[in-house]
Amino acid sequence: MNLWQAFKMAFKSIAMKKTRSFLTMLGIIIGVASVVIMVSVMQGQAKKSMEMFEKMGENKINLYIWAWDGGESVQRVMDYCLSLNTYISGITPNAEINDSVTIQYGAKTIKTNDWDNYDWSTGQDPWMTMLHVKLGSEQYGVCNNYKLASGREMSYLEVEKTLPVCMLGAGAKEQLFGFTDPVGETITLNGDPFQVVGWYQPMDLDWQPQMDNIIVIPHTFNRTMNNNYDMNEYVIKARDAQSTVKAMTLLTAYLNGMFPKDADGNRMNGSYDLGSDNSAAENQQKASMMQSLVMGAIAGISLLVGGIGIMNIMLVTVTERTREIGIRKAIGAERSSIITQFLIESAVICSIGGLIGIGIGYVGTMIAGKLMADVFEGIILMPEPFIAVGAFLFSVVLGIIFGMYPAIKASGLQPVVALRAD
């Protein structure tokens, strides 16, 4: 018997007992569909998370520093970062004016940190919707992954000479100017005029809308507008992923030297916290991969149950076709041809179940994408081709593995005993 004949016999056997064959496939169908849906949803979630990290910017290093001597140690760290220009392309303070700032343009007046007059009935977090006046350098946009929509960044001289210029986030621009291009216009902060030299494209981060609601002014205004508070937060932009690792290693060593630990393990002269968004993104990827593996393993249990069902029904098939097996062996059929026939039949049942499961998985994934549209906004949730191919191949392998025992049992029947069967 050649392979083509074995396949024909397998399809004929399945067609003769459609209901039993379908019920046999059901475990495989459910298992494959579950794997496709669960893994696709987890991958969509991971993709959405990575999209957020990409918008916030790759190769960013966040530094929080608390020094007892105030700005002296901070200035040393900034100078050290600037000396690492092989690995670092920019550094900026990321401070915010703590006190309330009155922002005016024309007839519009907006106050920051205006907690007392906020309309709490909206149900929104006021921090997300309020404007925030930030203190930064000329590299604020580059370090925080903002892209210019119009105008230009602040210049080094404007920052050094404390010139009254500012940059607007997309949310601040919309609140103050609507659809009008604000470049060249003048706004006032606590009555002092500031010229808008540029504004940024929207970041569109649903979970951090405040990143668009910013007005950036030179950090040298810290003394006059922010009561000379210590600026503890800095954002450093590395040139690439390898430079991020190298820069963090060098910075960690430098900061450990500035703030050594005493005998009790407490830092002296101050403290610091250094982290990278790359590390957060990598951790998110690892967590998503682990979740996908766990969910896939849970769904895989259905496949194993389905495989056991396949083995059970193939054993029944062997019992039903004992006489047929005896006749074939009596006329010279080899054990290998009988094993092949039953393995092909088992694999065909599983492969058909796998294909149906993949189809249901695609439909289920699209339904899940519609039901979770808020979570996967901007992402079309569809199974990756390798998931479908992998699920199909796994179902075929499962059929071969669980069909092996019945096939071997069938091939081991003695012709005389098999021919005596009813």
- The answer to whether residues 295 and 398 belong to one domain is yes
Predicted pLDDT of residue 173? 94
Distance CA 297, CA 326 (A): 41
Chain segment 174-221, per-residue pLDDT in tens: 999 998 999 999 999 999 999 999 999 988 766 566 788 999 999 999
Let me know whether 47 and 104 are in one domain: no
185, 206, 226: which is the final residue of a domain?
226
- Classify residue 295: in a domain, yes or no: yes
User: In sequence order, what are the beta bridge partners of 261?
Assistant: 267
Domain assignment of residue 95, yes or no = no
pLDDT for the residue 196: 96
Helices (H), ranges, 259-334 = 277-320, 322-330
**Burial letters 250-286, b for 16+ CB under 10 A, else e:** bbeebbeebbeeeeeeeeeebebebebbbeebeebee
Q: Is residue 66 in a domain?
A: no
Q: How many domains, the chain?
A: 2
Q: Is residue 412 part of a domain?
A: yes
Q: What is the model's pLDDT at position 159?
A: 93
Q: Provide the pLDDT for residue 44.
A: 77
Show which of 226, 253, 269 is a domain's final residue.
Answer: 226
Beta-sheet pairing, 132-136 with 214-218 = parallel
Within this chain, do residues 378 and 296 fall inside the same structural domain, yes or no?
A: yes
What pLDDT sits at residue 414?
66
Q: Any bridge partners for residue 75, and if so which?
A: none
Is residue 98 a contact partner of residue 255, using CB atoms and an 8 Å limit?
no
Give pLDDT < 70 ranges for the chain: 1-3, 6, 48-57, 70-71, 114-128, 205-209, 277-288, 292, 296, 299, 320-326, 328-329, 332-333, 373-380, 413-422
Same domain? 336 vs 393: yes
- Would you state the pLDDT for residue 405? 77
Q: Do 140 and 220 touch, CB atoms closer than 8 A?
A: no
Domain that holds residue 141: 100-117+136-226
- pLDDT score at 415: 61
Same domain, yes or no: 148 and 215:
yes
Q: What is the pLDDT of residue 338?
A: 75
- Please list the residues that pair with 92 across neighbouring strands: 235
The span from the CA of 389 to the CA of 283, in Å, is 28
For the chain, helix, strand, coil in percent to 5 are 55, 15, 25
Q: Are residues 35 and 154 in the same domain?
A: no
Residue 125 counted as domain residue: no
